[in-house]
Amino acid sequence: MEVVASSQGRVLVANTLVASTLWHRLMALTPPRNLMSSIQQEIVDFFWSGRHWVRAAALYLPLAEGGQGLISIQSKIASFRLRTVSRLLYDCGPSWLNFGKLLLRSVGRFGHKQLFLLNPEELDLSGLTPFYTSVLQAWHTFKFTRATSEMPGMWVFEEPLFFNGLLRARTLQSASLRTSLRQAGCTKVGHLMKAKAKSLEALRRRSNTSSIRILDQVVKEVCAALPESRRAFAEDADLCEQWIEDGDYSFPSLQVTPVVGDWHEGAGQLLTLRTPHLGTFQACGKKETYNLCVTEFLGPDSSPKGCWRCLYKLPVEKRTADLRWRIVHGAIATNRYRAHLDLELGEGCIFCSEVETLEHLFIQCPRLSALFILLKSWFQGLGEEFSFVLFIFGPKYSVKKKGVHTLLNFLSGAAKIWLTRRSRLQGVGSVALLPVLQGLLRARLRVEHTYYHLMDNIQAFSHMGAVGGDGELRLYI
Ligand SMILES: [Zn+2]
């Protein structure tokens, strides 16, 4: 017996059986890139059973965003690395991370946390293990911004003086001055402010700087560059006195977003940069971090249109939803497409012999007009204007209109355009769209009615709406 799993069935198999055996290894190892891409290729092949219709990237999106939720190894690895960053910055990691902290400190020369605030182009990662290099690389794939509303804390004294996006000081652009200060052990705001409180002259001597005026200027510029609330904090001599180097100070909150370059969001898309909505980096859960990585690696041209939340909502069957997903992604083997692969096949529609494109198949073929007239009247009965966009992409989901949207979606899915085409090809089953649709709805309602009758809850059934035997839709929502 041949077992044909639905798309979601195959995703489940791939994600749980194939990929999960990799995860515990990938958490701490950096695998060769080409090995990972060939495993990913195997997974995608398995999903498509060897025939690829759409860019794989779209498959990795969660269902709610138009994908299939197929696992993306690259995103998974990146999300593991980001979790490591989060543990390093917010001190919630296992003890083996202590080794990593030492290693990162030796590279950054500021401290392990400071390394994550520096501009990537200024970093010299030589001397880091492949694992920690991949941690920093994953980090720099994203854009982080400081949370502006946060109250200043002792961390302000831990801020690195150089290559720090927050502190732009003109004098510190001089490489020789930076080297001098570094040699004198003055690399953080705290070092500078302590020197200012005690004696800038001592710092001048230690750093071999020619004049004290330059150091004065550095202090001024650094203070001016700090946001106002942090500046007052940094200039407070008592607080500065309390600061001890590498003390246990909480790292500032960061907001992380994908780097999307010139990609402009189109209107009405469910996949936006605000989905998933991310709070601060440390509050980001495993799933959100992973989804963030998927979005990052997706690329600009694969954001699917449409309103995906209801596509897979009950009572729509999985197979119907899978089919509609394929339609929207152009992943249907129309005759036009098949004719490219096999010249013996014609590209004409089997009903009207016009060229069978995707649009023809699902919208333009004359055999569909009666169906659309019926759907139009049903949609109207539900208070919605029928349109092809609504029919193909599904309604934009809103909780308020949940009942109506679920029904619209169900009705669109029940129009068995693809099924009747297959019946015609194979010469079995009915090819008449309207009787198939009406029969299907009637059967469905009979099942539902029996179910609710048995459950002694006929009230719930009457809330769902009903289709009369004459094809009229009567709704009690
Ligand atoms: Zn046709």
- 295 and 328: one domain? no
* Reported pTM: 0.65
> For residue 450, which phi and psi values (nearest 5 degrees)?
-60, -45
Query: Do residues 168 and 225 make contact, with C-beta atoms less than 8 angstroms apart?
Result: yes
First to last CA, the chain: 43
Instruction: Single out the residue in 233, 251, 269 at which a domain terminates.
Output: 251
Distance 110 CA to ligand 1 centre (A): 69
- 273 and 331: one domain? no
Distance 437 CA to ligand 1 centre (A): 19
pLDDT of residue 59: 77
231-267 pLDDT tens trace: 888 888 888 889 888 777 888 888 777 665 433 333 3
User: CA-CA distances (angstroms) from residue 338 to 80, 124, 300, 360, 361?
Assistant: 41, 53, 28, 15, 14
pLDDT of residue 340: 63
163 Rama sector, left if φ>0, alpha if ψ -120 to 50, beta otherwise: left
Distance 26 CA to ligand 1 centre (A): 51
Q: Please tell me whether residue 127 adopts helix, strand or coil conformation.
A: coil
Longest CA span, the chain = 97
- 358 and 450: one domain? yes
68 Rama sector, left if φ>0, alpha if ψ -120 to 50, beta otherwise: alpha
- 111 and 125: one domain? yes
Distance 357 CA to ligand 1 centre (A): 9
- 238 and 296: one domain? no
Structural domain count of the chain: 3
Instruction: Single out the residue in 304, 319, 343 at which a domain terminates.
Output: 304
- 398 and 452: one domain? yes
Distance 349 CA to ligand 1 centre (A): 5
Cα dihedral across residues 204, 155, 100, 71: positive or negative: negative
- 324 and 447: one domain? yes
What is the residue range of 239's domain?
A: 151-251
Q: Which residue bears the tokens 């919208």?
A: 363
> Cα–chain-centroid distance for residue 282?
17
- 145 and 26: one domain? yes
- 7 and 106: one domain? yes
Which helix H or strand E contains 260, and what residues bound it?
Answer: none
Instruction: Single out the residue in 269, 289, 304 at which a domain terminates.
Output: 304
Distance 199 CA to ligand 1 centre (A): 87
- 452 and 324: one domain? yes
- 247 and 258: one domain? no
Distance 342 CA to ligand 1 centre (A): 20
- 125 and 1: one domain? yes
Residues comprising the chain, all counted: 477
358-400 pLDDT tens trace: 788 888 899 999 999 999 988 888 888 998 878 877 777 677 7
172-183 pLDDT tens trace: 888 889 889 988
